[in-house]
């Protein structure tokens, strides 16, 4: 399975999709550069760059880049091999279907995680270095916490969209509707409906935003403990990975003939 | 290795892909012959475990095929689809398949080298597949199918888009593999191609098995029906002028823009034997040749009437 993961990672490295996703993932870095240039103005208002980091990481990464890129990387797990008609090469090899799907999920999750982690690291560095290297080091756990949550999110979202990509014909549209419709809307509803979103559990684990009360007003309140949130995300990841694997055993993929 | 198929049917909703097929394939080369849409590719996909049968059974050496990756240890498959991971070079493509097959690095390198030599792609092995001609892509697909020395080999239209030299080499290769005791299945919609590789065929149309066995009986019927051959080459005018001198050539349609001619011949075997020699003599490069589908449909309709 190790070779398959490597192979799919290499495939991702050469795909136009990954290049576009990498470009997208650098939007917050660009924004952080802009803030860096504007820091004399911000400082005059009593705002430090690092003070904006939790807000930046929440809005740009958790609510925009993570769901967006995971839709594209997740739906590609099975759908890519079907659309590119390369699935027969994989199926007519002594490799179990479980290993094929699992390797692809691992490779795509890693690609997504690496893209987000690099981008988040650069954003963090730009925003935390303002007060010196000491401050950068002191606040590093905040970066690790937000980066870790994004990785957990990648782990839960990728197999979910892999499953979607294995079931329906145009999974990207449905995926985008899910992340920007359901996930972002339901989270602000009162009551327990928000427990049916992945983003809620990620919020629970994300670094808190105590200073920014307005944003806190529209964010859901914690309804589960950190441990429960981690466990639920891991269970969801395992569940959707299992479903994606079983799809390749249950479903047949009729490829277009040339 | 033996392939056994019993009462095999495959439906896509209301559409029948293959209909109640029963046959046994022994070592040697067998041709699946039928027009496009006859069900050959569906049958090959069933035999390689890509599709699940709606009814009936199929097995390689008594082992079921669907979702049984262990049986694939002995299987090689060259798909019809012109599909690749385009970032790979020809060598990386074959090597990756060998690694997926479970071979370690050194063994995979050795098998890759051998297979690439067998399909005569050594000079182009380090070029990206995206830059290959259709014929080269066919050769490299064939290399990944034979590299691990499988006992059972399924080749779906392996000669499609190959130049005459490539066709000759591939036909020789397939015959050699059959002689070595491999069970080789070749699908094609062109009778003379199959005929050059084997005399054992399964004639398939509309998903049904029309005939099974010796090719010569069917051949006799076909000889009375003209075959169209489209040739894509340079120096079209020179080749056309010489082809018109052949008695078996009934007509030639000329497409100067595409650099193509479509020849109607009543002796396709002789025509195919003469063509490479003539091209060489006239210094004409033939890029590809094929038979238009509608003409083949007509032949099969004629056969099954």
pLDDT tens for residues B28-47?
999 998 888 888 899 999 99
Picking from A44-48, A87-91, A114-118, B106-110, which range would have the lowest pLDDT averaged per residue? A44-48
Radius of gyration of chain B (CA): 20
Picking from A143-147, A211-215, B18-22, B191-195, which range would have the lowest pLDDT averaged per residue? A211-215
A95 and B100 in contact by Cβ < 8 A? yes
B50 and A253 in contact by Cβ < 8 A? yes
Q: How many CB atoms lie within 10 A of CB A35?
A: 20
Q: For residues B146 and A121, what is the distance between their CA atoms, to the nearest angstrom?
A: 47
Radius of gyration of chain A (CA): 20
Nearest to A92 among B77, B80, B84 (CB): B77
pLDDT of B99 > 80? The answer is yes
* A-B C-beta contacts closer than 8 Å: 78
Nearest to B69 among A10, A95, A257 (CB): A95
pTM: 0.80
Chain B residues near residue A89 by CB distance under 8 angstroms: 79, 83, 97, 144
Which SS3 state, helix, strand or coil, does residue B55 take? strand
Q: How many CB atoms lie within 10 A of CB A41?
A: 10
Region B241-245: mean pLDDT is: 86
pLDDT of residue A253: 77
Region A231-252: mean pLDDT is: 92
A252 and B52 in contact by Cβ < 8 A? yes
Q: Buried b / exposed e across A174-193, counting CB within 10 Å, b at 16+?
A: bbeebbeeebeebbeeeeee
pLDDT digits (tens, 9 = 90+) for A54-71: 888 888 999 899 999 999
DSSP 8-state symbol, B260: E
B175 φ/ψ angles, rounded to the nearest 5 degrees? -60, -45
For residue A254, the chain B residue with the least C-alpha distance is B51
pLDDT of residue B155: 94
For residue A100, the chain B residue with the least C-alpha distance is B100
Chain B residues near residue A80 by CB distance under 8 angstroms: none
Instruction: Report the CATH number of the B3-220 domain.
Output: 3.40.50.300
Q: What is the mean pLDDT of chain A?
A: 87
Where do the domains of chain A lie? 2-250
pLDDT of A219 > 60? The answer is no
pLDDT of residue B237: 84
Where do the domains of chain B lie? 3-220, 223-304
Instruction: Report the CATH number of the B223-304 domain.
Output: 3.30.70.100
Residue B86's alpha-carbon distances to A7, A102, B137, in angstroms, are 13, 22, 11
Higher pLDDT, A209 or B198: B198
Higher pLDDT, A221 or B7: B7
pLDDT of residue B70: 92
pLDDT digits (tens, 9 = 90+) for B155-164: 999 988 888 8
pLDDT of B277 > 70? The answer is yes
């Amino acid at each position: 399975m190790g070779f398959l993961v490597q192979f799919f990672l290499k495939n991702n490295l050469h795909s136009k999709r990954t290049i576009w996703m990498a470009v997208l993932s650098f939007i917050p870095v660009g924004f952080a550069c802009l803030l860096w240039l504007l820091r004399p103005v911000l400082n005059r208002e009593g705002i430090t760059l690092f003070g904006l980091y939790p807000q930046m990481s929440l809005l740009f990464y958790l609510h925009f880049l993570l769901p967006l890129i995971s839709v594209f990387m997740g739906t590609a797990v099975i759908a890519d091999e079907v659309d590119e008609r390369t699935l027969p090469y994989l199926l007519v090899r002594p490799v179990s279907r479980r290993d094929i799907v699992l390797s692809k999920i691992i490779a795509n999750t890693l690609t997504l995680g690496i893209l987000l982690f690099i981008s988040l690291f650069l954003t963090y560095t730009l925003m935390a270095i303002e007060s010196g290297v000491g401050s950068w080091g002191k606040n590093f756990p905040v970066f690790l916490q937000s980066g870790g949550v994004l990785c957990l999110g990648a782990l839960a979202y990728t197999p979910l969209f892999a499953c979607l990509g294995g079931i329906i014909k145009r999974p990207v549209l449905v995926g985008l509707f899910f992340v920007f419709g359901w996930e972002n809307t339901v989270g602000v509803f009162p009551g327990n409906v928000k427990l049916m979103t992945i983003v809620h559990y990620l919020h629970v684990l994300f670094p808190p935003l105590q200073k920014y009360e307005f944003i806190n007003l529209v964010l859901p309140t914690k309804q589960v403990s950190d441990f429960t949130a981690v466990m639920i995300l891991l269970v969801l990841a395992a569940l959707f990975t299992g479903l994606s694997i079983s799809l390749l055993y249950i479903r047949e993929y009729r490829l277009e003939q040339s | 290795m033996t392939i056994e198929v019993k009462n095999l049917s495959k439906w896509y909703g209301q559409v029948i892909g293959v209909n109640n097929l029963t046959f046994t394939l022994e070592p040697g080369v067998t041709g699946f012959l039928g027009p496009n849409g006859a069900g050959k590719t569906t049958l090959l996909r069933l035999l390689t475990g890509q599709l699940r049968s709606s009814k009936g059974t199929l097995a390689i050496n008594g082992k079921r095929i669907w979702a049984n990756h262990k049986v694939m240890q002995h299987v090689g498959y060259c798909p019809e689809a012109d599909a690749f991971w385009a970032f790979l070079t020809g060598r990386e493509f074959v090597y990756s398949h060998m690694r997926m097959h479970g071979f370690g690095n050194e063994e995979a390198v050795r098998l890759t080298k051998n297979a690439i030599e067998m399909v005569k792609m050594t000079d182009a092995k380090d070029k990206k597949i995206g830059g290959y001609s259709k014929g080269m892509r066919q050769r490299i697909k064939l290399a990944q199918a034979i590299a691990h020395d499988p006992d059972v080999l399924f080749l779906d239209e392996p000669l499609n888009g190959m130049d005459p030299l490539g066709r000759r080499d591939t036909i020789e290769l397939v015959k050699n593999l059959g002689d070595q005791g491999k069970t080789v299945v070749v699908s094609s919609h062109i009778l003379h191609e199959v005929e050059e590789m084997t005399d054992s065929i399964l004639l398939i149309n509309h998903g049904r098995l029309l005939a099974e066995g010796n090719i010569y009986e069917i051949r006799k019927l076909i000889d009375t029906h003209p075959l169209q051959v489209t040739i894509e080459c340079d120096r079209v005018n020179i080749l056309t002028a010489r082809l018109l001198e052949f008695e078996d050539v009934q007509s030639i349609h000329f497409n100067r823009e595409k650099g193509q001619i479509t020849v109607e011949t009543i002796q396709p075997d002789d025509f195919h034997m003469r063509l490479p020699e003539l091209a060489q003599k006239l210094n004409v490069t033939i890029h590809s040749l094929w038979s238009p589908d509608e003409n083949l449909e007509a032949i099969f309709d004629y056969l099954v009437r």
